Structure 1
Amino acid sequence: MSVPHRAPSTLLNSRRSPLLVFAGQSNRPLAQAICDHLGVPLGHSTTEKFSNDNIIVHYEESLREGDVFIVQTFSTPVSDSIMELMLMIDAAKSASAGRVTAVIPYYSYARSDKKDSPRISIAGRLIADLLQEAGADRILTMTLHAPQVHGFFKVPVDHLSADVVLADHFKRSVPDAHTGVVLAPDAGSIKRASQIARRLDSGLAMIDKERLSDTEVRPRALIGDVEGKTVFIVDDEISTAGSLVETVNIARSMGAKDVYVAVTHGVYTGPAIQRIAALDVTQVASTNTVLVPQSKLDGSNGRLAVLDVAPLFADAITNIHTGASVSTLFT
Structure 2
Amino acid sequence: MDGEIKVFGGSTGKLFAQRMCEYMGIELGISEVIKFSDGNLFVKAGETVRDKDVYLVQPIGLNPNDEFTEILFWMDAFKRASANSVTVIIPYFGYAKGDKKDEPRVSIRARVCADCIELAGADRVLIMDLHSPQIQGFFKKPVDHLFALPLLCEYVKSLDFEDFVVVSPDVGFAKQARNYAAALKAPVAIGDKTRKFHDERAEVLQIIGNVEGKNALIVDDFSISGGTLVDLAEGLKERGAKRIFACLSHLLLSKSGAEKVDNSPIELIISTDSIEHPELSSQKIKIVSVAPLFAEAIMRIHNRESISSLFDSVPDKVLQYSIGIKNR
The two structures have a TM-score, normalised by structure 1, of 0.90
Residue 83 of structure 1: SS of its match in structure 2? helix
Residue 194 of structure 1: SS of its match in structure 2? helix
Instruction: Map 1:202-281; keep pairs closer than 5 Å.
Output: 202-210=186-194, 212=196, 217-269=202-254, 271-281=256-266
Alpha-carbon distance between aligned partners in 2 of 1:148 and 1:256, rounded to the nearest angstrom:
34
- Can you give the 5+ residue segments of structure 2 that lack an aligned partner in the other structure? 313-328
Deviations 1:206-234 (A, max 9, x none): 11234556667532321111111111111
Deviations 1:182-206 (A, max 9, x none): 1011111111111111111112111
Displacement, 1:52? 2.5
In structure 2, the partner of 1:76 is 62
Identify which of 156, 179, 185 aligns with 1:195. 179
Alpha-carbon distance between aligned partners in 2 of 1:210 and 1:185, rounded to the nearest angstrom:
10
In structure 2, the partner of 1:326 is 307
- Can you give the 5+ residue segments of structure 1 that lack an aligned partner in the other structure? 1-12
Does the CA contact (< 8 Å) of 1:17 and 1:65 recur in 2?
A: no
Displacement, 1:116? 2.0
Alpha-carbon distance between aligned partners in 2 of 1:175 and 1:209, rounded to the nearest angstrom:
26
Residue 266 of structure 2: SS of its match in structure 1? coil
Does the CA contact (< 8 Å) of 1:17 and 1:98 recur in 2?
A: no
Identify which of 249, 274, 282 aligns with 1:289. 274
Alpha-carbon distance between aligned partners in 1 of 2:181 and 2:122, rounded to the nearest angstrom:
36
Alpha-carbon distance between aligned partners in 1 of 2:249 and 2:134, rounded to the nearest angstrom:
18
Does the CA contact (< 8 Å) of 2:255 and 2:280 recur in 1?
A: no
Instruction: Map 1:8-157; keep pairs closer than 5 Å.
Output: 18-157=4-143
Q: How many correspondences in the alignment?
A: 311
In structure 2, the partner of 1:180 is 164
The two structures have a TM-score, normalised by structure 2, of 0.90
Structure number with larger C-alpha Rg: 1
Displacement, 1:31? 1.0
Indicate how the Cα distance of structure 1 residues 138 and 186 shifts in structure 2: closer, same or farther if over 3 A, else same: same
Does the CA contact (< 8 Å) of 1:63 and 1:95 recur in 2?
A: yes
Displacement, 1:17? 7.5
Alpha-carbon distance between aligned partners in 2 of 1:286 and 1:210, rounded to the nearest angstrom:
24
Displacement, 1:147? 1.0
